Structure 1
Amino acid sequence: MAEEKVSGKIVDWKIIRRLFQFIRPYNTQFVSLVVLILIGAALAPVMPMLIRYTIDRDVTAGNHNGLTFMLLCMVGVLVLQGIVQFASSYLSGWLGQTIIRDIRVQLYEKILYLRLKFFDDTPIGRLVTRTISDVETLADVFSEGLASIAGDILQLILIIGVMLYADWRLALISLSTIPLMLISTYIFKEKVKKSFTEVRTAVANLNSFVQEHITGMNIVQIFGAEKLEQDKFDKLNLDHRKANIRSILYYSIYYPVAEVISAMATGLIVWYGAKEVISLNTSYGTITAFIMFINLFFRPIRMLADRFNTLQMGVVSTDRILKLLDSDEYTQNEGTYQPEELHGKVEFRNVWFAYNEPEFVLRDISFQVEAGKTIALVGATGAGKSSTINLLSRFYEIQKGHILIDDVDLLNYELSWLRSRIGVVLQDVFLFSDTIERNITLGDPSITRAQVVEAAKLVGADDFIQRLPGTYDYNVMERGATLSVGQRQLISFVRALVRNPRILILDEATASVDTETEELIQEAIGKLMKGRTAIVIAHRLSTIREADQILVLEKGQIVESGTHESLLERDGHYANLHRMQYKELV
């Protein structure tokens, strides 16, 4: 998932329109924010004009009553400006945080239903960047972007109009430095835009690297690769630092330059205005007002460059978020079929599957499992065993053929309903940082504590759970770090079986446990398989002796099928696998 570049456009209106879809539920608040910003912009030129009027009419004439009145007017304007600024700042912050909350909800909901192939191709750290950093950027768009840009532009227009009204000659003198400001602002905008893109790319790379290597820290330490990984991280961190320093450099240059240009305009006003005052062509109040106008005029210009960059980066972030939300790598769920009861008959009919075409990992696979029967899949690593069971839960979509359950095509079933009736136990058990009970129920309120305990007793997990502090309320920490491999495996059995699935899938479920625990699990499995359709993948052939049918896979094809005894008599692939595992007994 490559990083997108910032477009050369100042504003991508197509994306801005999509952005307004997120604002639509809060139209009233957004319109109120725009109104407040416009009021604030309209109030900006009021104070200089009041000061001009006060100096020219009251100060020079010694009118104390008028001076007091004008002072009260100025205080009133300041209070009104403060109220408007507070209301607009709070409302823009509220609007931004509320909208990004909604976007994060939509984004996470989308991620929950993405196909597993998407996660195979996309670094997790990059998805974290999308969900956290990119969404956070949108908050700045609402607080410092769209509405603020409109307010700044209106303020500039109003100030220019008032300046021309007050003294058109001084106005032209004041505006004579604008070309310099516009040129410097454009250069700054382009440089900062590029540096922002580099910063965000560096952040995404850091997130991906840190997430991946902390997750795989045991591999790093097992092979003593700490120094190598530290060097890689140092390089990524250095790239991040360089990108940020470039951004800081551009800001450090631009703002002093903008101040110098603003000071030049002030100097021109003082120089030209002094001559006009001496010539009695203008007043002290007008000169004072114009000095204030210059500060009010150049501040929005300086801010506009920053706001346009904020808007551009918000557009880039929105584009990335929308591409994820609009991704066609979505678990297709056209089916609506939800029968009252699932019997569990499974059939693969001429199934072809590839993670990346045309490299097919399953080739013309066909087999049938009657309801309540057990089928076992065996074969060398990479033969296609795990791929076969992944297709049954529609974690991936097949390219050719059909998969049927109870003689109904898999695509016709409502997906969440179907998965709730398939219990899966994997060799690599993932536990969340939560209690044992919540790791079993996954927060499903329909599953009671009594059901959890009953399932745990059935697979022999209750004994060790009762010995833990807090029993079923014991926090297993991230990835179940405080439990043994066998204990985690037992919890995964309880997790699958507490939902009373009609189809049970065991993917080398006893490969990571000791012999004593395996015997305990095998005894429980025998009880649990009764009346259920079971599909078992096992490297230990001793665990599948009683299977109703055994399929031997090699290079994505079924090369043998039959019972344990019949396959041994055939003296083919299965017999060879059996001899390899038990050669010490032959």
Structure 2
Amino acid sequence: MKKQFENNRQLILYFIKGSKTYFILAILFAAAASLFDLINPRIISFTVDSVIGSKKASLPAFFNGFIQGVGGITYLKSHIYLIGVFVVIVAIIGALFRYLFRLFNSKGAEKFVKVMRDGLFEHIVHLPFAWFTHNPTGDIIQRCTSDVETIKRFLSEQLTQMLRIIIMIVLSLYFMSTISIKMMLAAAIFIPIIVTYSLFFHKRIGATFEKADEEEGVLSSIAQENLTGVRVVRAFGRERYERQRFEKQNTIYTKAFMKLDILITWFWSIGDGISGLQLLTIAALGAYFGVKGDITAGDYIAFVSYNTMLVWPIRSLGRVISDMSRASVSIDRIRYIMNSEEEEDDKDALNVDMHGDIVFDHVSFRYNDDGPLVLDDISFAIEKGTTLGILGGTGSGKSTLMYLLDHLYEVSSGHIYINGVDIKHINRDYLRKNIGLVLQEPYLFSKSIEENIAIGIHSATMDDVEEASKIASLNEAINHFKNGYKTSVGERGVTLSGGQKQRTAIAQMVIRKTPIMIFDDSLSAVDSETDMKIRRALEENIHDATVILISHRITTLMQADQIIVLNKGRIAEVGNHQQLRSQKGIYRKICDIQNIGEDNS
């Protein structure tokens, strides 16, 4: 079973393992840059008080040694430009460390976000089919893009600077304390005030951001639906309705973010006010203590410089606390995906011979635990190499039967056997590779026709593609295209007609030559003549495969070895065409409606 993340910290540590070294180096260089930033005010203070003035210098042993090495304070008085050179050197070294900090921080952030995206995608493609029915595509995309970027931005712009901020605060307060304990305490008293109001806004910003993020997910879903279903929107003249629907949701989303912006505006305005008050307080106290003679002019300049440096990290610390609420929401949304259980096979899952009988043994199914039964006590058998036809009204459970056979859903009760083995004990990947399924609504990728046909088998040759397209009666249509098999089908096959898309999907399955082939109403968009040509080609080229035909068209099913009729999730009738045609049941009524006479049998 895949690792479950109990909290956000575990999730971040899981994804950060590939970029940990980058972030450690970034923090070390950030600390070094902070240290060098704090050296220059002491140099300026020393210059004003001891080089220009006459105050006895009290410097660390390292600096005293350096000063004596260049000739002492007397030499510096006549060569003051050396101090300027030293200031420039310190600034250049600090700038170099800041560059290295940003370099490794950026590399770490990009590595982190790549690992997160790869991990998310890998996990999502292994989630159960049922999971996607409960989670809109737009919301999933929102989590994998916007939320990932929010986490990346927090980690790279705020969290990695946390230690730098703390180091900057500690060092600034230390250097300030060497100048004036009283003024240092006056500056430090504003730190808990900023942290307190940041914590006050933290929860409120988080809740508001979560609401805005969810509304953005809904908006993304609407946009995604309309862009992929643009032909349906146009065909039914729904442009105005969909525009109003989008604008309504966009208004809701905008209001949610405006509420967030108001909170953030209050947060920053209060912060600006407190920071301004701190600067004013230090300026006033510095002037007061300067007049009293408690501090020198050089110390005052240095203290004001340190206090100015202190304002930024204190404000940044408040921002980290505030932005943490936004990042926490995004991490929770990513953690929801990562904690969703993947499909898992039994430890001793089998790869059985799929050329065998298929048996549905008292199978019942409901989509939700408290939902109605979609299939109710279904039992039937399909002999290997034969053809089964399935007929039933909309919502009778025809497609659901095939989804269960492909193990896309778990049966609520009962068993499905292939060659005597319950499909629960068959390796899912192996099972699905050996079951060809043409969906009721075929999905084609934005690739060429050739690539779409060969998408299920990497070793397919052009001859294989052409053979499959002939069986699917697609080759004639392809020959009329300017670029032939290289013709791009567009997103979701938008440039092809409904019948061409269905035939491409049939060729896509036929090329795989699977032991079990399922046609889920996949001939509904082709005319009767093409329907017949495809069925004949299948009979001639597929000899040992077990075929399941789902259709509303009697002519598609009438040659099947066995036909079952579903009605409201239960089997209403079983038999071949002649047997069912002779009974006065659902099948007979549909035959009469479709004008299928005895001569057709």
Q: TM-score, normalised by structure 1?
A: 0.92
Q: CA deviation at 1:288?
A: 0.8
Contact 1:144 1:310 in 2 (8 A): no
1:117 aligns with 2:110: no
1:343 aligns with 2:355: yes
C-alpha separation in 1, matches of 2:80 and 2:456: 70
- Cα gap change, 1:152/1:360 in structure 2, threshold over 3 Å: closer, same or farther? same
Q: Which residue matches 2:529?
A: 516
1:468 aligns with 2:481: yes
Q: Which residue matches 1:7?
A: none
1:75 aligns with 2:68: no
- 1:510-552, CA deviations, whole angstroms, 9 ceiling, x for partnerless residues? 1111233223222223224422101111111112222111111
- Cα gap change, 1:197/1:66 in structure 2, threshold over 3 Å: closer, same or farther? farther
C-alpha separation in 2, matches of 1:142 and 1:176: 28
C-alpha separation in 1, matches of 2:347 and 2:527: 42
Q: Which residue matches 1:354?
A: 366
- Cα gap change, 1:333/1:72 in structure 2, threshold over 3 Å: closer, same or farther? same
Which one of the candidate residues 509, 512, 522 is aligned to 1:496?
A: 509
Q: Which residue matches 1:5?
A: none
Q: Which residue matches 1:261?
A: 274
Contact 2:453 2:465 in 1 (8 A): yes
Q: Which residue matches 1:366?
A: 379
Q: Which residue matches 2:69?
A: none
Q: CA deviation at 1:377?
A: 0.9
- Cα gap change, 1:444/1:82 in structure 2, threshold over 3 Å: closer, same or farther? farther
Report the residue type matching 1:204 in the other structure.
G
Q: Which residue matches 2:66?
A: none
Q: CA deviation at 1:341?
A: 4.3
- 1:36-72, CA deviations, whole angstroms, 9 ceiling, x for partnerless residues? 2222333342222222112112233595456323222
2:359 counterpart SS class: strand
Identity %: 29
- 1:289-343, CA deviations, whole angstroms, 9 ceiling, x for partnerless residues? 1111121111112112222233332232222212211213x32322655547431
Q: CA deviation at 1:385?
A: 1.1
Q: CA deviation at 1:414?
A: 1.2
The aligned runs of 1:200-349 (5 Å cut-off) are: 200-328=213-341, 330-334=342-346, 337=349, 339=351, 341-349=353-361
Which one of the candidate residues 35, 43, 60 is aligned to 1:42?
A: 35
Q: Which residue matches 2:449?
A: 436
C-alpha separation in 1, matches of 2:211 and 2:99: 34
1:25 counterpart SS class: coil
Q: CA RMSD in A?
A: 2.5
Q: Which residue matches 1:572?
A: 585
Contact 1:129 1:204 in 2 (8 A): yes
The aligned runs of 1:524-535 (5 Å cut-off) are: 524-535=537-548
Q: TM-score, normalised by structure 2?
A: 0.89
Q: Which residue matches 1:158?
A: 171
C-alpha separation in 1, matches of 2:309 and 2:229: 55
1:145 counterpart SS class: helix
Matched residue pairs, number? Answer: 574
Contact 1:335 1:411 in 2 (8 A): no
Which one of the candidate residues 4, 16, 21 is aligned to 1:23?
A: 16
- 1:126-183, CA deviations, whole angstroms, 9 ceiling, x for partnerless residues? 0001111111112113212322112212211221122112211222333354465445
Q: CA deviation at 1:284?
A: 0.6
- Cα gap change, 1:564/1:179 in structure 2, threshold over 3 Å: closer, same or farther? closer
C-alpha separation in 1, matches of 2:411 and 2:497: 36
C-alpha separation in 2, matches of 1:340 and 1:193: 52
1:394 counterpart SS class: coil
Contact 1:364 1:557 in 2 (8 A): yes
C-alpha separation in 2, matches of 1:395 and 1:340: 18
Contact 1:176 1:265 in 2 (8 A): no
Contact 1:432 1:479 in 2 (8 A): yes
Q: Which residue matches 2:60?
A: none
- 1:387-425, CA deviations, whole angstroms, 9 ceiling, x for partnerless residues? 111111111110111111111110111111111111112
- Cα gap change, 1:306/1:202 in structure 2, threshold over 3 Å: closer, same or farther? farther
Name the stretch that deviates more: 312-321 or 420-429: 312-321
2:104 counterpart SS class: helix
Report the residue type matching 2:385 in the other structure.
G
C-alpha separation in 1, matches of 2:83 and 2:263: 43
The aligned runs of 1:376-455 (5 Å cut-off) are: 376-442=389-455, 444-455=457-468
Contact 2:201 2:322 in 1 (8 A): no
1:396 counterpart SS class: coil
Name the stretch that deviates more: 176-185 or 134-143: 176-185
- 1:16-48, CA deviations, whole angstroms, 9 ceiling, x for partnerless residues? 133112112333223212212222333342222
Which one of the candidate residues 144, 148, 158 is aligned to 2:161?
A: 148
Contact 2:563 2:574 in 1 (8 A): yes
Q: CA deviation at 1:503?
A: 0.5
Structure 1 residue runs of 5 or longer lacking an equivalent are: 1-11
C-alpha separation in 1, matches of 2:478 and 2:330: 46
C-alpha separation in 2, matches of 1:340 and 1:396: 20
- Cα gap change, 1:519/1:563 in structure 2, threshold over 3 Å: closer, same or farther? closer
- Cα gap change, 1:308/1:178 in structure 2, threshold over 3 Å: closer, same or farther? closer
C-alpha separation in 2, matches of 1:141 and 1:256: 21
- Cα gap change, 1:176/1:145 in structure 2, threshold over 3 Å: closer, same or farther? closer
C-alpha separation in 1, matches of 2:416 and 2:223: 40
- Cα gap change, 1:387/1:180 in structure 2, threshold over 3 Å: closer, same or farther? closer
Q: Which residue matches 2:25?
A: 32
- Cα gap change, 1:205/1:573 in structure 2, threshold over 3 Å: closer, same or farther? closer
Q: CA deviation at 1:218?
A: 3.8
Report the residue type matching 1:556 in the other structure.
G
Name the stretch that deviates more: 13-22 or 124-133: 13-22
